[in-house]
Amino acid sequence: MRRPVIGIATQTLPGVPGERQPCWLMGRSYVEELRKVGGVPWVIPLVPHDEDTLNEIFSRLDGVFITGGVDVDPARYGEPKTPLCGTTDPDRDAVELMLLKYAMAHELPVLAVCRGIQILNVLGGGTLYQDVTAMVPAALKHDYFPTPDQPSRKYLAHDITVKAGSKLGAILGDAVVPVNSMHHQAIKDLAPGLAPTAFAPDGIIEGVEGTGEQYVIAVQWHPEELTDTQPGMKRLFTTFIDAAA
């Protein structure tokens, strides 16, 4: 059988005069995890001004994977950008929104992680906390970003509670699951058309899925870092690839 082709939008790396021209890049762990379970990753350039080229790429895809990365521009959900918001990438926002709109219109399977759950929510009309710690007084610490002293992306920061009867629950196989946590933003107002399926102990939404038959699953953590230790995380990728195939 032909292996399913999975689209992944990139992120802008600004140029450095005399050292590096502007680049598009994407983390290897995302690409490797898709490859290992039988997908053919297609890394998509950020050319929102060239819809013809993007549509040619989109037409060849069997599934869409949205990764972690920089913050979504608050203008996309109707808010001014505050100092709490970090770096944004307007071209990435534009291309991912176009990619997700195409996926929804053509019922392509969608798997999204970290920033991915946020841009999916924004696509549907939802909003985001620009900084969870500052905007949710009772929030846990969620921003366990790697540092030179603690470089691991596998650190299990907290548990999530998974909704019984959900697609995500069937995939993960447990009602309570430990996860890593590398984000400072999160879903505030949930978009219509998405159902919440997992929660952190402080109530922050950590998982959503579509309400129809289409495979649409998004999580706030980074399952690509946990597939070697948690079978449920591996099943997130295998079920996605199965749906794309």
Catalytic positions are 114, 222, 224
Of 91, 37, 92, nearest to 66 by C-alpha is: 92
94-123 burial string, b = 16+ CB within 10 Å, else e?
A: bbbbbbbebbbeeebbbbbbbbbbbbbbbb
d(CA 216, CA 207): 11
* 166-171, long-range: CB < 8 A, 24+ apart: 166/195, 166/197, 166/198, 166/207, 166/209, 167/197, 167/209, 167/215, 167/217, 168/197, 168/198, 168/207, 168/209, 168/217, 168/219, 169/197, 171/217, 171/232, 171/235, 171/236, 171/239
CA 26 → CA 29, 82, 140, 190, 198, distances in Å?
9, 26, 28, 27, 26
Alpha-carbon distance 40 to 42, whole Å? 6
